[in-house]
Each structure stands twice: as C-alpha cells, then as structure tokens.
Amino acid sequence: MRSPILDYLDAIVEQTGHIDSGAPADYIPELAAADPNRVAVALCTVNGTVYAVGDADHEFSIQSMSKPFAYALAIEDHGLDYVLERVGVEPSGEAFNELSLDPETGRPRNPMINAGAIATHALVRRDERPAVERILALFSDLAQRPVEIDEGLAASELATGDRNLGIAYLLHASRRLAGEPSASVEGYIRQCSANVTVRDLALMASTLANGGVQPNTGRRLFSRRTTRQVLSVMASCGMYDAAGDWFTSVGIPAKSGVAGGIIGVLPGQVGVAVFSPRLDGHGNSARGVAMMERLSEDMGLHLM
Ligand code: DON
C-alpha cells in the first residue's frame, strides 16, 4: 500500500505547480540549460526512512548545499576554535557571491557565502587524496551511494569562475586563504559540481537532524557539537540575504544551491530536500521555498 506521506508530497508538488517565477542560473552555462519544469521533494526521518516524489531520481549539482558538509569536515579536521579564527559565523546580509569580509579581522563573514566556502574548502585536510576527494567520500557516506562529480559542469563553471578567483586572490592577499587561490577555487567548484538527487539530499539532511549519525548505516560522520555548529550557521546564514524571511516563514536550518535545491533540517526529527531550478532574486529556488513553506506549515516544522 502506498504511504499517505507520498500522497501528501505529491499534493505539495501539485499545489505549487503554478509557481513559474524566476529562471535557472545563467552565470554557469551548464545550469542555464536545465529543464526549468523539473521538480522533486523528499524527506528522510531520523530512523532512515526516505519518502520521495516527482523527479526524485534526477541528478543535479549540489552547489552551495555542499558548504555545510565541507564546513563540518574542516571543524572535524582542526577543531572549532581554529576554524572560527579563519571564517566567521555572522550573516552577511549580502548576496552569496559578494566578498563580505569582517572589517576588523578580514576573515570571510561566514562559511555559507562563496568567500567563506572557498576559505573553508582550503581548510579541509588533504591526506593522500585532494580535499575534494575527501568531501566527495563524505557525500557518498551520507547518501549511501557513490556520489560523483559532473565534470562537464565543473569545467563549465571553472571557465566562467573569474568572480570566485577574484575573491580567492583577495583572501590570499589578506592571508585569509590556507591554499593557493586557483587550486582552492578549482577544488571548491568541483565540490559544488557533485551530482545528487533529492533522495541523497534528504539522507544528508537527516544525518544532520540525527546529530551527525547517518540514520541507516549508524556511522557517526561528525560529532554532535560539530553538527550543532553547522545547523546554527545554516539557520542564520544558509539562505543568504533571504535568511530573515526564510526563518520567519519556514523556521528551520537550511541551505540552498544555485542548481535549484534546498535542504532543511528539523533537529531530532527529519531532513527535507526540494528541487526546482527556477531561482528567485536571492539565488534560492522560488518553487522550492514555496514547497518548504507548505511543508513547514502542514508538518509543524517551524522551530518557534
Ligand atoms: O560558487 C558558485 O557561485 C556556485 N558554485 C555556488 C553558488 C550557490 O549555490 C549559491 N546558492 N544558492
């Protein structure tokens, strides 16, 4: 018998079908070619049960939804204090691709904007593998399947990545980048180019909801303290200069991605993921935000 939760998620997709505002990102050529009508929703409970509807098996790039997980790895590698000295936790109030440096310390405002994410990527330890391979291995552990990089997309973004390169060189000039600028940007862009589905993302989000323990494998992928830090920064910075609107209307820690995904986490309960490529003015999925608002209202996700 089909779960009534799947019927409910179908209804969420149906009831937001009229939302066709915005357009796929066009500053990354490969993203501009995305089918704007694709849509998917998934949720995963902290006991590991996944419910997914729509284009649930469609792969798209994780983009900025990768940033919370790279941040977790950097904290696990160096400890929170070390990372905090190098990347702040304050919302920037600006778009994700603004430089946004703390005027007193020169460090990037937070790890969710590009400047902070590039600096964070450069902090992730390279063992015998490049940092991006460790990040990819973490994605695979979280998703319970091999997650791979869309090499064509990565090449597409690298070819048009001047803004991120400029940010990286400015960080490096102020001794706020723990790596060589072009290598750090290449690793960061490859991190963003990992292909995921909403099923994968719901499992990733449910691991955060589950205190850092992957709900099906039982593997602790990050500490409870690291998870608390990541969720706190997602709550205040994850939706960029729409963070205030988001937290008042949806009310859960979240992170968006420029390919049209959003993940949300209700700690101790559930991880949620939505996908629709058309973006609003903040670089967040317009229909994705609407679907999350409905989910929050109907399922009582709001933390307040
Ligand atoms: O660096 C960039 O601009 C992209 N790889 C990621 C930006 C992004 O996902 C913004 N979030 N909505």
pTM over cut 0.95 = yes
Residue 43 makes CB contacts below 8 A (sequence gap 6+) with 5, 9, 50, 51, 52, 202, 270, 271, 272, 273, 295
As a whole number, mean pLDDT of residues 195-200 equals 98
pLDDT of amino acid 155: 96
187: number of Cβ within 10 Å: 22
For a pLDDT cut of 90, what percent of the chain falls above it?
Answer: 96
As a whole number, mean pLDDT of residues 45-70 equals 98
Question: What kind and span of H or E run contains 227?
Answer: helix 224-237
As a whole number, mean pLDDT of residues 222-238 equals 98
pLDDT of amino acid 171: 95
Which among 129, 138, 109 is positioned nearest to 203, based on CA atoms? 138
Contact 236, 116 (CB under 8 A): no
Tens-place pLDDT, residues 121-166: 999 999 889 999 999 999 999 999 999 999 999 999 999 999 999 9
Q: How far is the CA of 63 from the centre of ligand 1 (A)?
A: 5
Please indicate if the annotation marks 64 as binding a ligand: yes
As a whole number, mean pLDDT of residues 230-236 equals 98
For ligand 1, whether the C-beta of 64 sits within 6 Å is yes
For ligand 1, whether the C-beta of 187 sits within 6 Å is no
Atom of ligand 1 nearest to the CA of 189: 5
As a whole number, mean pLDDT of residues 4-32 equals 96
Place of tokens 């469609």: 58
Tens-place pLDDT, residues 24-39: 999 999 999 999 999 9
Q: What number is the ipTM of this complex?
A: 0.99
pLDDT of amino acid 151: 97
pLDDT of 23 strictly over 90: yes
As a whole number, mean pLDDT of residues 217-245 equals 96
Atom of ligand 1 nearest to the CA of 279: 12
For ligand 1, whether the C-beta of 63 sits within 6 Å is yes
Q: How far is CA 134 from CA 65, 162, 218, 257, in A?
A: 16, 25, 19, 20
Question: What kind and span of H or E run contains 196?
Answer: strand 195-196
As a whole number, mean pLDDT of residues 242-258 equals 96
pLDDT averaged over every residue in the chain: 96
pLDDT of amino acid 272: 98
Tens-place pLDDT, residues 72-94: 999 999 999 999 999 999 999 88
Contact 223, 208 (CB under 8 A): no
pLDDT of amino acid 20: 93
β-bridge mates for residue 52, sequence order: 42
Tell how strand 60-61 and strand 195-196 pair up.
antiparallel
As a whole number, mean pLDDT of residues 114-127 equals 96
Identify the residue whose C-alpha is closest to ligand 1 atom 10: 258
Please indicate if the annotation marks 188 as binding a ligand: yes
pLDDT of amino acid 128: 86
pLDDT of amino acid 103: 87
Identify the residue whose C-alpha is closest to ligand 1 atom 4: 63
pLDDT of 100 strictly over 90: no
